[in-house]
Chains A and B, each alone.
Chain A
């Protein structure tokens, strides 16, 4: 039998029961649309979160004091841990692959300028921070590369803090009081926006040594190291570990690469996408049952036709193929309708709620259509086998 004739016969059977075929198709369409819509949202969120994280660059390694056996925040036993010091940072600077090293101390403090006061996040950092985190200075300049242990009292403002404190005035050269000490403002950062709820613009950057003093600490929170893009992260981790082991005598620090973080994050987000997709899959299952039911009814209604086809010279395999074909055409049509509907609704949602990121990868589209076809196959196989297995004499008597 030619493919065209096969499709014509299949099509004529489906068209003969338009309403029934339409409703069955709709069942699969709803399922596929649900899967596509939910995974589109899941994938959109995935990409959104990853973009938030990678905006600081991907060739970054974070070193935290303390050692924990799992990745993440280091809640090491502080009593037995040597502090991460500015000298450690300086030593790391000398590693051949280090492009930028940023010591980091963070805290909250009240800042004042003129007669305005505001509680804000104070970051003690190094001169290379803009380079390491791909941040831009909007006006003035960033903290200079002073002697790390005795830096001058300069401050750089985040864009929001600048507006809050100085409104339309030019802040450059103005004085800023932080925790009783005086700083001179030498720069303002470009806007960076909010990352996972942290406002990166409501900040002030001061030299790390001064922040340690301000918050009365002897250890840095973290040292971030940006390495050359052509060096493998394993090499970087090994280099850092050896250096710090030599300096500290034992491994009382944790090294976290951006890669590791992104891997963990990525796998969590993948599970999320998969989970919502699976929820949509339940409705697909219902659609599959619909196809199975309709095909069973069709085989019952058309036993005489099956007998005639056999009498006219149809092989069992041809009968099987015809009924399987009908089930698969129903499922494939439902799949296409569902894809269009799912992508359409996802885009519409994005249009109505621009904050909701939406993304439909081609892989999902192809996967969804393949799943639809497989569902048709699975749902059709039992009724089709029954049709092919009918005794032609019995089938002809059946009317």
Chain B
């Protein structure tokens, strides 16, 4: 469902051009569990942002479900992000002044979903993550693990096909990191395509398909068939 053909992404730093992504060819099928690993500056975050339509390739082609999304305008890109892509960030990025429930509701508000339907879906999403009793709490009143699970609920409330996670456990202790991974993998088992960018070798190894990046290129692409 995700196809990248000869994708390049160049940045101009000072008067030097940096090839953050250098001729990336990648095909990801629906429902895959994929980890992207590699040292800092290897381009893994850039790749994730590009797949998430937060960034555009300098050249090359990006097909999402067979549709060329590289040339979409702002409105269609925003719509695609809203409906088909979910983001989970290392720093959670919850809106601090909104309650947990309101944070989860945000994508639906932006999409102008009717309030009644919104309430039901948010309640169901919080219920599924065992966070119903935290609905009215502000982010600052939640633990790190709870915050990241709220962020996951927010990323998946519009039922996207792809969930992108950038170092989802980077700011968490081992225990809550485990909870978060558990939550993500449960979503993957229910057919969501999960792409995780991480430094953490242990976390990366859990994925059925593991991509290693170096200097803007894909160095290795390994699969294990899961039982």
Contacts and interface: CB of A to CB of B under 8 A. Distances in A.
Interface of A: 1-2, 4-5, 9, 12-13, 15-16, 304-305, 307-318, 392-393, 396, 399
A396 B91 CA distance: 9
Given A309-B106, A312-B87, A315-B78, A1 B49 contact: no
Nearest to B94: A308
B75, B80, B93, B158, most chain A CB atoms within 10 A? B93
Contacts of A399: 91, 93
Given A312-B110, A316-B74, A393-B54, 7 more contacts: A1-B112, A311-B87, A313-B78, A313-B110, A315-B78, A393-B55, A396-B54
B83 interface: yes
A312 B85 CA distance: 8
A1 B91 contact: no
A311 B75 contact: no
A393 B154 contact: no
B52 interface: yes
Interface of B: 49, 52, 54-55, 74-75, 78-83, 87, 89, 91, 93, 95-98, 106-107, 109-112, 115, 154, 158
A393 B107 CA distance: 18
A12 B54 contact: no
Contacts of B80: 313
Contact of B95 (A305, A315, A316): A305
B49, B115, B158 — most chain A CB neighbours (10 Å): B49
Contact of B154 (A5, A305, A312, A396): A312
Given A316-B74, A393-B49, A311 B81 contact: yes
13 contacts: A1-B112, A5-B109, A12-B97, A305-B93, A307-B93, A312-B110, A313-B79, A313-B80, A313-B83, A314-B110, A316-B74, A392-B55, A396-B93
Contacts of B106: 309, 312
B54 A310 contact: yes
Contacts of B52: 311
Contacts of A5: 109, 112
A2 B95 CA distance: 19
Nearest to B154: A312
B205 to A, nearest CB: 27
A311 B109 CA distance: 14
A4 B115 CA distance: 10
A2 B112 contact: yes
Contacts of A13: 97
Contact of A308 (B93, B109, B115, B158): B93
Q: Which 6 A-B pairs have the closest CB atoms?
A: A313-B82, A16-B97, A315-B78, A308-B93, A311-B87, A392-B54
Contacts of A12: 97-98
Nearest to A4: B115
A314 B83 CA distance: 11
A315 B82 CA distance: 10
Nearest to B78: A315
Contacts of B93: 304-305, 307-308, 396, 399
B87 A315 contact: no
Contact of B107 (A4, A15, A312, A396): A312
Nearest to A315: B78
A314 B91 CA distance: 19
A307 to B, nearest CB: 7
Contacts of B91: 304, 399
Contact of A311 (B54, B95, B97, B158): B54
Nearest to A397: B45
Contacts of B98: 12
Contacts of B49: 393
A294 to B, nearest CB: 16
Contact of A313 (B55, B81, B95): B81
B55 A310 contact: no
B45 to A, nearest CB: 8
A318 B75 CA distance: 10
A312 B54 contact: no
Contact of A1 (B54, B79, B109): B109
Contact of B109 (A9, A16, A392, A393): A9
Nearest to B84: A313
A308 B86 CA distance: 11
A315 B106 CA distance: 13
A313 B107 contact: yes
B87 to A, nearest CB: 5
A16 B89 CA distance: 24
A9 to B, nearest CB: 7
Contact of B75 (A2, A315, A393, A396): A315
B78 A310 contact: yes
B104 to A, nearest CB: 11
Given A12-B98, A393-B55, A313 B111 contact: yes
Nearest to B102: A12
Contacts of A311: 52, 54, 81, 87
B41 to A, nearest CB: 14
Contacts of A9: 109
B78 A314 contact: yes
Contacts of B54: 310-311, 392-393, 396
Contacts of A307: 93
A28 B33 CA distance: 55
A309 B52 CA distance: 13
A317 B74 CA distance: 9
B25 to A, nearest CB: 22
A393 B95 CA distance: 17
Contacts of A396: 54, 89, 93
Contacts of B87: 308, 311-312
Nearest to B158: A313
